[in-house]
Structure 1
Amino acid sequence: MKVLVTGSAGFIGYHVSRRLLDEGHEVAGIDSMVPYYDVRLKQRRHAMLAESAAFRAHVLDLADMAATDAAVERERPEVVIHLAAQAGVRYSLDHPEAYVSANVVGTFNLLESCRRRPVRHLLMASTSSGYGANTDMPFRETDRAATPLTIYAATKLATEHVGHCYAHLWNQPITAFRFFTVYGPWGRPDMALFRFTEAALKGAPIDVYNHGRMERDFTYVDDLVEAVMRLVPAVPERGRPVGAFDSLSPVAPYRMVNIGGGHPVGLLEFIAEIERCVGRPIARNLLPMQPGEVPRTWASAELLEALTGYRPATPVSVGVERFVAWFRAYHGL
Structure 2
Amino acid sequence: MSVHDSAVLVTGAAGFIGAAVAEALMARGQAVIGIDNMNDYYPVSLKRARLDRVGVRFGNLFQFRELDFADMNALSAGLEDQRFGAIIHLGAQAGVRYSLENPQAYVASNLAGHVNMLELARAREVGHMVYASSSSVYGGNTKLPFAVEDRADHPVSLYAATKKADELMSETYAHLFRIPLTGLRFFTVYGPWGRPDMAMWKFADRILSDRPIDVYNHGEMHRDFTYIDDIVGGVLACLDRPPADDGDEKAGGSVKPHALYNIGNNRSEHLMRLIEVLEQACGRKAELNLLPMQPGDVPATYADITALTRDTGYAPSTPIEEGVPRFVEWFRSFHGR
Say whether 1:59 aligns with 2:61: no
Encode CA deviations 1:192-211: one digit per residue, 9 max, x unaligned: 01010010110000110000
TM-score (normalizing by structure 2): 0.94
Ranges in structure 2 where 5+ consecutive residues have no aligned partner: 1-5, 248-252
Aligned to 2:109: 102
Aligned to 1:32: 37
Look up the SS of the partner of 2:22 in the other structure. Answer: helix
Look up the SS of the partner of 2:206 in the other structure. Answer: helix
Aligned to 1:281: 285
Identity across matched positions, percent: 50
Q: How many Å separate the matches in 2 of 1:164 and 1:171?
A: 10
Look up the SS of the partner of 2:95 in the other structure. Answer: coil
One-letter code aligned to 2:32? V
Q: How many Å separate the matches in 2 of 1:42 and 1:164?
A: 31
Aligned to 2:16: 11
Look up the SS of the partner of 1:70 in the other structure. Answer: helix
- Structure 1, 79-88 or 135-144: larger mean CA deviation: 135-144
Aligned to 2:86: 79
Query: Is this contact kept in 2: 1:260–1:311, CA < 8 A?
Result: no
Q: How many Å separate the matches in 1 of 2:142 and 2:232?
A: 28
Q: How many Å separate the matches in 2 of 1:126 and 1:250?
A: 23
Say whether 1:252 aligns with 2:259: no
Look up the SS of the partner of 2:81 in the other structure. Answer: helix
Q: CA deviation at 1:251?
A: 4.6
Look up the SS of the partner of 1:73 in the other structure. Answer: coil
Q: CA deviation at 1:232?
A: 1.0
Encode CA deviations 1:169-207: one digit per residue, 9 max, x unaligned: 111000000000000000000110101001011000011
TM-score (normalizing by structure 1): 0.95
Q: How many Å separate the matches in 2 of 1:317 and 1:177?
A: 25
Encode CA deviations 1:202-233: one digit per residue, 9 max, x unaligned: 00001100000000011000000001111112
Which residue of the other structure, out of 288, 292, 310, is the alignment partner of 2:296?
292
Aligned to 1:306: 310
Aligned to 2:226: 219
Query: Is this contact kept in 2: 1:121–1:174, CA < 8 A?
Result: yes
Say whether 1:50 aligns with 2:55: yes
Query: Is this contact kept in 1: 2:178–2:245, CA < 8 A?
Result: no
Encode CA deviations 1:223-255: one digit per residue, 9 max, x unaligned: 000011111121111359xxxxxxxx9452101
Runs of 4+ in 1 over 4 A off after TM superposition: none
Query: Is this contact kept in 1: 2:215–2:291, CA < 8 A?
Result: yes
Q: CA deviation at 1:332?
A: 1.1
Q: CA deviation at 1:102?
A: 0.8
Q: CA deviation at 1:261?
A: 2.1
Aligned residues: 325
Encode CA deviations 1:121-173: one digit per residue, 9 max, x unaligned: 10000000001122111111111210000000001111111111111111100
Look up the SS of the partner of 2:245 in the other structure. Answer: coil
Say whether 1:167 aligns with 2:178: no
Q: CA deviation at 1:4?
A: 0.4
Say whether 1:332 aligns with 2:336: yes
Aligned to 1:205: 212
- Structure 1, 113-122 or 204-213: larger mean CA deviation: 113-122
Query: Is this contact kept in 2: 1:72–1:113, CA < 8 A?
Result: no
One-letter code aligned to 1:306? R
Which residue of the other structure, out of 33, 41, 46, is the alignment partner of 1:41?
46
Say whether 1:183 aligns with 2:190: yes
Q: How many Å separate the matches in 1 of 2:34 and 2:129?
A: 15
One-letter code aligned to 2:288? R
Look up the SS of the partner of 1:157 in the other structure. Answer: helix
Q: How many Å separate the matches in 1 of 2:230 and 2:174?
A: 27
Question: What is the Cα-based RMSD across aligned positions, in Å?
Answer: 1.3
Q: CA deviation at 1:311?
A: 2.2
Look up the SS of the partner of 1:75 in the other structure. Answer: coil
Query: Is this contact kept in 2: 1:9–1:43, CA < 8 A?
Result: yes
Say whether 1:271 aligns with 2:269: no
